[in-house]
Structure 1
Amino acid sequence: MSPQRTVARRAPGKLFVAGEYAVVEPGNPAILVAVNRYVTVTVSEPGAPGGVSLSSDLLPRTAHCRWRDGRLGGAQPQDGQLLRDGLAHVAAAVETVTLLLAERGLPAPALDVSVASGLHDNGTKFGLGSSGAVTVATVDAVAAFCGLDLSRDARYRLAMLATAGIEAKASGGDLAASTWGGWLAYQAPDRTAVLDLARRSGVEKALREPWPGFAVRRLPPPEGLSLEVGWTGTPASTSSLVSGLHRRTWRGTASHQRFLQTTNDFVRASIDALEQGNREDLLRQIRRARQELARLDETVGLGIFTTELTALCDAAEAVGGAAKPSGAGGGDCGIALLDAEVSQDIAHVQKRWTTAGVRPLPIRPAMEGNEE
């Protein structure tokens, strides 16, 4: 397949429904849903021969780069700073696809990559998995530009390799949601083993070999329930919160083991409820998820629950729904599952959210993953 001159790909954002924090450990299940806010990545012929330019609508300038031993290096010091900060995931995605090209005897590409994000509000992130979405979209766009025809599984794996090289604790759940779309049951692979496989045997083999712990499958959406999303207006750093948890002596304790066991129990029960169309049990399990995250927060003191997230949850439960922080908490978004047929309850909850400083977002599940 010959390369194309311009390729655009987009990937949806995500929300965690249940299983955050526990999913960081390989093989522990979580439920995610892709949402209809997108990151779009466009790849085109380079403006300068042999060069690579990376840009984003969230950044003030373009990073001009050159290939150096399979890695992207900035042409100027300020370019290098952009590569390390705002464009780190884009650069890692480009580099990972280039490793695969090299194994297939193809040269490192010269290209322009531009990113447009719908997962932010005037530059402030909503907490919808923008890093994951941009990684998935970049992998797909660069691969297609270079003439590679990759399956969804291969695109996810390349995105996971790129992400794990930057954030060792990242579960990759956002990558799965951005790749497959819809409602998903997901288990993270052992990232150390996966990176080691790629280093020892190459990226090509890492795309074909079984990954320990990894599993993903589509789930039916909840019957008779509306997914409502509220944004606290305060961005939170997932990597900082997860890293903070791992720096504490809590890991390996009886409390840690209880958290993993309890989370696995309500996540698997939630999966069963979705597959059986049992909405009352699903609501019960999501309330358990809120309670367990609150217990974790009280035990470890991460600051998962803010005043706004607590108010978001309380408002939903007051009308018989279920709600919780989505993702690491500490800000960003919360989710609620409410009776889809009782519009006055939904309106009442949204009004209470607004009063509490929580912005209702017009977000709905995106049933398809990354696409043109």
Structure 2
Amino acid sequence: MARRCFLGFLVFCFWLGLTSCARSPPPTGLCAASVTPQGYKCQEFEVKTQDGYILSMQRIPKGRAGGGGNKQPVLIQHGVMVDGMTWFLNPPDQSLPFILADAGFDVWIANTRGTRYSRRHTTLDPSKSEFWNWTWDELVTSDLPATFDFVFSQTGQKIHYVGHSMGTLIALASFSEGRLVDKLKSAALLSPIAYLSHMTTALGVVAAKAFVGEITTLMGVAEFNPKGEAVGKFLKVLCATPGIDCYDLLKSLTGKNCCLNVSTVDLFVKNEPQSTSTKNMVHLAQTVREGVVAKYNYGSADFNMMHYGEASPPIYNLSNIPHNLPLFLSYGGQDALSDPRDVGLLLDSLKLHDGDKLTVQFIKDYAHADFIMGVTAKDIVYTAIVAFFNRQ
């Protein structure tokens, strides 16, 4: 029972960051910690966003076998409450960045603002609330454009994109507004998050209801730190809710993951989860509660009018995604966060997409974590991504 509880708490940390169970991460950079020890060349970069955040990026320019020429760049974007390290928890032959590098791609790893390697700003201090005044809207308008522009400036080529979970949400929102598409070659979206109204986990639903606009004041923190005392207390409150099973969070939150290795989860606890803003968690909860993909709701018509010039937050119209943009979507039948019914709503938004530009993969036994930590992901998902990229 103790082991099961421990694993459950780790996965809950991984996806929603509602506990303080993780240990301190290593102080070394991502290249030194996870890439060069495996025999791959790795470069560290800093990228500044238009609103002053300084983001860490890593580049694996080639596989272990080397090779020259202009390799096609691939940008890999993680989800919420984790960072680029999450792509390196499995051995090299099971880790997507290494697989792509060995397949001949020029691989770039993103780390969003607030995570361990991206806690800098030109003027703001991460110990102050102003540093954390953002949601995934700012990832759409600032972080993704900055990373795309940087990769494009370094390579001079259009970019393949891989996103998981929230990394798919910000990509879809960006594409719907015509952002990035001039520098984008194709996109692979794993466990796609857009509509969330069918999320099936009781714990997730309770958490979404708890993340109301006043939570920043109630908790007294703008940084949603999964290692902090305030978040730990918040989790205890959620777990006291009738009907919530905090002893099997692995299954009850993400769905029944089929293919996780215990040693991979042990590596996770040494490195993840990471901070995000409390405001971002509120925005994600709004997406669950309101059943639409929209900009942040400031809680009143007057405040929304101040920010948007209209009483309600503008909607990201996903049907506006260019119909000729090559997309690969992979989702699981056991995923309790990216529920198949919500993926169905996303696919309905893409119903006018050019038939030869949309590839959809459904994996009956997969849940949310399998796409990034599953020991079988190489053969089932990653091989299909490489083939998809090679066709473009």
Same fold (TM over 0.5): no
TM-score (norm 1): 0.29
Greater per-residue strand proportion: 1
